[in-house]
């Protein structure tokens, strides 16, 4: 347990850290700031200030999905850096392994589950061939779909995603908050 002495007080940093986590988890579960403040015996403004201190961004929720992507790690890193909520990119080999490790029913069920999940996002950036983009746009009609064409169907090789273009698209979907790259 990390302790800090402030004058006559002995402060437990661990206790503070644990309470902050509990407060934010309660907010994440849908409780209002007032409800959380009452539950933890603090002022509502304290809860508000905690959120402000830790805020990474405001705005729209974003998902990025794509295949066959050559630079999956770089795309994933950029998505994390920019606060993308969901990122699923695969190389062609990963896509083939994924498809071959499941039977037809499993693939359909997982595709429908993924489509349902993607519909919960305000914007979905799709990285794929032109025909795959049209298919995904049809599946995600309720979402705001932002296509980035990786090439003509069928793509027979991994395609590097231009990180500058992807970054501009993500930043264009929602403005940056203070402290963001």
Question: By C-alpha distance, which of 59, 55, 176 is closest to 123?
Answer: 59
User: Is the pLDDT score of 179 beyond 80?
Assistant: no
> pLDDT tens for residues 48-94?
998 888 765 567 889 999 999 999 999 999 999 999 999 999 999 99
- Report pLDDT for 115: 87
- Report pLDDT for 143: 57
User: Is the pLDDT score of 13 beyond 60?
Assistant: yes
How many domains, the chain?
2
Q: Confirm whether 178 is domain-assigned.
A: no
Q: Confirm whether 179 is domain-assigned.
A: no
User: In residues, how long is the chain?
Assistant: 181
Residues 89 and 160 in one domain: yes
- Report pLDDT for 174: 74
Residues 41 and 79 in one domain: no
- Calculate the alpha carbon distances from 169 to 43, 45, 58, 147, 165 in Å: 39, 35, 16, 10, 6
User: Is the pLDDT score of 105 beyond 70?
Assistant: yes
The stretch 155-170 carries a mean pLDDT of: 96
Domain span holding position 45: 3-54
Read off the pTM.
Answer: 0.65
Q: Give the three-class secondary structure for 36.
A: helix
**Would you place residue 37 in the very low, low, confident or very high pLDDT band (cuts 50, 70, 90)?**
very high
Domain of 151, CATH number, reads 3.40.50
The stretch 29-33 carries a mean pLDDT of: 90
Q: Confirm whether 150 is domain-assigned.
A: yes
Domain of 14, CATH number, reads 1.10.10
Sort strands 86-89 and 144-151 into parallel, antiparallel or unpaired.
Answer: unpaired
**HEC-encoded secondary structure of 121-181:** CCEEEEEEEHHHHHHHHHHCCCCEEEEEEEECCCCCCCECCCHHHHHHHHHHHCCCCCCCC
Residues 114 and 159 in one domain: yes
Residues 47 and 79 in one domain: no
Q: Give the three-class secondary structure for 2.
A: coil
- Report pLDDT for 57: 53
Q: Which has the higher per-residue pLDDT, 22 or 1?
A: 22
Under a CB-based contact definition with an 8 Å cutoff, are residues 163 and 48 in contact? no
Residues 70 and 135 in one domain: yes
Strands across the sheet with 86-89, in order?
A: 86-89, 62-66, 123-129, 144-151
């Amino acid at each position: 347990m990390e302790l800090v002495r402030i004058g006559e007080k002995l402060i437990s940093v661990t206790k503070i850290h644990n309470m902050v986590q509990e407060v934010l988890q309660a907010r994440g579960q849908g409780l209002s700031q007032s409800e959380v403040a009452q539950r933890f015996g603090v002022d509502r403004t304290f809860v508000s200030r905690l959120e402000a201190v830790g805020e990474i961004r405001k705005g729209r929720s974003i998902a990025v999905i794509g295949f066959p992507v050559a630079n999956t790690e770089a795309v994933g890193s950029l998505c994390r850096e920019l606060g993308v909520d969901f990122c699923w990119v695969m190389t062609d080999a990963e896509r083939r392994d994924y498809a071959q490790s499941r039977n037809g029913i499993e693939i359909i069920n997982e595709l429908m589950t993924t489509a349902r999940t993607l519909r919960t996002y305000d914007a979905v950036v799709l990285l794929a061939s032109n025909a795959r983009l049209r298919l995904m746009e049809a599946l995600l009609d309720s979402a705001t779909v932002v296509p980035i064409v990786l090439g003509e169907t069928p793509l027979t090789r991994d395609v590097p995603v231009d990180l500058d273009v992807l970054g501009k698209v993500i930043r264009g979907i929602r403005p940056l908050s203070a402290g963001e790259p």
